[in-house]
Amino acid sequence: MNGIKFFPKDLQIANKRIVLRVDLNVPLQDGKILDHTRILLIIPFLKELIKRKSKIILISHLGRPKGERERKLSLNPIFEYLKTKIETKIFFYTGNINEEVKAKSLSLKEGEILLLENIRFFKEETENDEKFSKQLSELGEIYINDAFSCSHRKQSSIHKITNFFKNSYGGPLLKKEIDAVNLVIKEKKTPVTCIIGGSKISTKINVISNLIKNVNNIVIVGAMANNFLAHKGYEVGKSLIEKNSEGIIKKIYAEAKRSDCKIIIPEDCKISKSFDGKPQIKENDKISNEEIILDIGPKTIELIKKIIDKSKTVLWNGPAGYFENKDFSVGTNLIAKKISENTNNNSLISILGGGDTIAALNKSELKLSFTHLSTAGGAFLEYLEGKDLPGLSVLK
């Protein structure tokens, strides 16, 4: 996608209020940040803006609250962490989007930051509400979207807000992401394999259907694969399953047949009776109704490694198992290791994306290298499909 206006390096920003949309949607557990990648990545640009004496109004979402305040989805832990990383005054605003927050933005001094509480606490955000977008825009003179990973969302702080700014730009992180994905699209070498994990099939159905036309293999792992196993008639016990996914799966197989794309699903798995229970390797037809599928098994890992060896490009989004527990991170780690090895010996172009994928790889503590590691999951896949992302179109 060309024609995006990026933040000009020489723009006069001293004393100007900049509304900066970032992605601070990091994994949290009991208020503890499990992976800091997304936060650490925005810091260099924040420091640059501070040095250049602008005033920064930071906006992000966290999780998917339904337009209501949810204590466990507060950005407070991220605010606390940011304070330890940046030497400037950072204020946290937890009130409504009204005259009060506007006054707060106007009272900022050069180099100071005002972080707004989770923007999805307001239902107007996901509704892309006109009035709300305008109110947000009144917090600054310049708008920058540095959240490629959120740019597939038609939401106020990404989309409609730009209607009310004379100057809206893409930030440096967004630019880096787009440049990397563009390079892969341009230099894509076949066969192309796309590995898709994660849990929700309905949110990825369109992506999968479209990718089928452009790639040679689609490997389904993670909880998403449970739906395919159930479709094949296997007992999947207490595994995570999405209701009414039958139709979706039939559509995927039909599309794959038309486009001559192979769909690969797990051949065996690692199960347990609970998320922290004893792991056990099982054939697909030996799972009992008490058990939960939590990782792919060794046969499947070998199969995927062979497919990677035969591929020239690999795109990967979504872990292969419940990586939060070490016992079930084996599939994800071994796939990552294989992709990294083949990238290193120059036989493979690799792009990995998604918050969970990055968290899983960081947790593994393996030394890995890929052509590009994207912070974006859904946005990355939709961009690959060739879609015009709403948050990017408005920056043109």
Residues annotated as catalytic are 38, 200, 355, 378
CB of residue 89 to ligand 3PG, shortest distance in Å: 27
**Sign, Cα dihedral of 363, 364, 367, 369:** negative
Contact call for residue 374 and ligand 3PG (CB under 6 A): no
At residue 359, the 3 state secondary structure works out as helix
Contact region for ligand 3PG (CB under 6 A) — 147-155, 225-233, 237-245, 274-282?
Answer: 147-155
- Which is nearer to Mg ion, 149 or 343 (by Cβ)? 149
Q: Cα separation of 254 and 232, whole Å?
A: 15
Q: Is residue 283 classed as helix, strand or coil in its secondary structure?
A: strand
Does residue 378 interact with ligand 3PG by CB under 6 A? yes
Alpha-carbon span 276 to 299, nearest angstrom: 23
In the bound state, the residue with its beta carbon closest to Mg ion is 378
Q: How far is the CB of 250 from ligand 3PG (least distance, A)?
A: 26
In sign, the C-alpha dihedral spanning 239, 240, 242, 243 is positive
3-state secondary structure of 200: coil
Does position 373 interact with ligand 3PG (CB under 6 A)? The reply is no
H/E element, 362? helix 355-364
150 near ligand 3PG, judged by CB under 6 A: yes
Q: Is 222 in the site for ligand 3PG (CB under 6 A)?
A: no
Among 74, 118, 128, 149, indicate the residue that binds ligand 3PG (CB under 6 A).
149
Could you tell me if residue 67 is left (phi over 0), alpha (psi between -120 and 50 degrees) or otherwise beta? left
Contacting residue, 378, 381, 394, 395, with Mg ion by CB under 5 A: 378
Nearest approach in angstroms of CB 378 to ligand 3PG is: 5
Closest CA to 357 of 306, 316, 389: 316
Q: Does 64 engage in binding with ligand 3PG (CB under 6 A)?
A: yes
Name which of Mg ion, ligand 3PG, none residue 150 binds, using a CB cut-off of 5 to 8 Å depending on partner kind: ligand 3PG
Going by C-alpha positions, the residue among 126, 129, 29 that lies closest to residue 68 is 126
Q: Which residues of the chain form contacts with ligand 3PG (CB under 6 A)?
A: 23, 25, 64, 149-150, 153, 355, 377-378
Q: Which residues of the chain form contacts with Mg ion (CB under 5 A)?
A: 377-378
